[in-house]
Amino acid sequence: MDQKGLKLAYVSALLNATIIGFSFLFAKIALELADPIDTLTFRFTLSFAVISIPVMFGRVKLNYLGKPLYKALLLATMYPIGFFTLQTFGLQRASSSEGGILYAATPILTMLLAAVFLKETTTVLQKLSIFLSVFGVVFIFVMKGSGIDLTNIKGLSLLFLSCLAFAGYGVLARSLLRTFSPAEISYLMLGIGFVTFLAGSLTKHVTAGTIDQFIAPLANSTFIMSIFYLGVMSSLLTSLLANYALSKIEASKMSVFSNLATIVSIAAGALFLREELTMYSIIGSALIIAGVMGTTLFGQKKVKTQTLNADRVEA
């Protein structure tokens, strides 16, 4: 594989996690001013509008002719539709801490799905690194005094299914990116998200006669700022970055980077919300970073070994 493209893929994965980490802050602000589904509607309306501009002017070329569009539609049902819908309703019945703990397990789900459907292999050290990263996130939440209430089966089930949907997206996107370009996948994902969430919001408000409540948040500059970040940065840009990274590196490697968002979220809370930065947060963050580095570095060693063995066979 082209080393320049590989390095760019890891940079993309890192930037993706950083942007998502800050998105929790902006989502929290937006949700204080608007309904969750309405927030998603504005978010994906903006992201789809922005990506449509270079498409209309021919700067971004899209070609879906002869490509398996039904698989791309299935991808969009996993993410953004499935992930955000399940997460939204799950968080109405469970705490954000429970969501964070379950979301941390996504790399493990991705690794299992990638092994089954993509035949991706991971070394023992990579597996241990992935588990170390997950443990780092869980450690932070548990030390905060958070936990999982096993009696809340409905909420936990919805949150688990949202994680499964996100893991499924990573695996299916990795497969489809052999046929589609990252821009083609992103355009479909954002477009389908826009249509679905807009239809949901309008149906709800028209039925209830509350269209004025749907439009009201747009008069608030703080809400506009939050939606700009969530729509342009945390939907459009992360979609392009994630799909580019998945076109170059394994789904299991890409998914473990998602846990870095926890570190960014903690840093953002400390910087902007004056939240306390505790020792257990620092320890947990170190475990997450070690896990991500281990997954990446041990994977590179595996690739180098496979390349050397191939060269010997050819010789």
With a cut of 80, say whether residue 314 has pLDDT above it: no
- Tell me the pLDDT tens digit for each residue of 202-214: 999 999 999 999 9
**309: helix, coil or strand?**
helix
Residue among 180, 138, 2, 166 at smallest CA distance from 78: 166
With a cut of 80, say whether residue 304 has pLDDT above it: no
Which of 25-34, 77-86, 157-166, 236-245 is least confident?
25-34
**pTM as predicted:** 0.88
Residues 130 and 108: beta-carbon distance below 8 Å: yes
Q: How large is the greatest C-alpha to C-alpha distance in the chain, in angstroms?
A: 75
Mean pLDDT of the chain: 89
With a cut of 60, say whether residue 303 has pLDDT above it: no
- Tell me the pLDDT tens digit for each residue of 39-80: 999 999 999 999 999 999 999 999 999 999 999 999 999 999
The winner for highest mean pLDDT among 98-107, 128-137, 300-309 is 128-137
Contacts of 221 (CB under 8 A, 6+ apart): none
**% of the chain beyond a pLDDT of 70:** 94
Residue in the structure block whose two tokens are 């070690």: 290
Residues 12 and 244: beta-carbon distance below 8 Å: yes
pLDDT at position 300 is 61
Query: Confidence class of residue 228 from pLDDT cuts 50, 70 and 90?
Result: very high
Which of 78-92, 138-152, 169-183 is least confident?
138-152
Query: Confidence class of residue 308 from pLDDT cuts 50, 70 and 90?
Result: very low
Query: Confidence class of residue 276 from pLDDT cuts 50, 70 and 90?
Result: confident
With a cut of 80, say whether residue 247 has pLDDT above it: yes
Residue ranges per structural domain of the chain: 3-314
pLDDT at position 56 is 96
Assign residue 74 a region (left: φ > 0; alpha: ψ between -120 and 50; beta: otherwise).
alpha
Between CA 16 and CA 239 the distance in angstroms is: 8
With a cut of 60, say whether residue 313 has pLDDT above it: no
pLDDT at position 90 is 87
pLDDT at position 305 is 46
Q: Kindly tell me the number of DSSP H helices and DSSP E strands found in the chain.
A: 15, 0
Residue 19: C-alpha distances to residues 148, 195, 298 (Å): 27, 24, 26
Q: Which phi and psi angles does 205 have, rounded to 5°?
A: -75, -35
- Tell me the pLDDT tens digit for each residue of 110-166: 999 999 999 999 999 999 999 999 999 999 988 988 777 777 789 899 999 999 999
Between CA 163 and CA 83 the distance in angstroms is: 7
Higher pLDDT: 28 or 303? It is 28
pLDDT at position 309 is 42
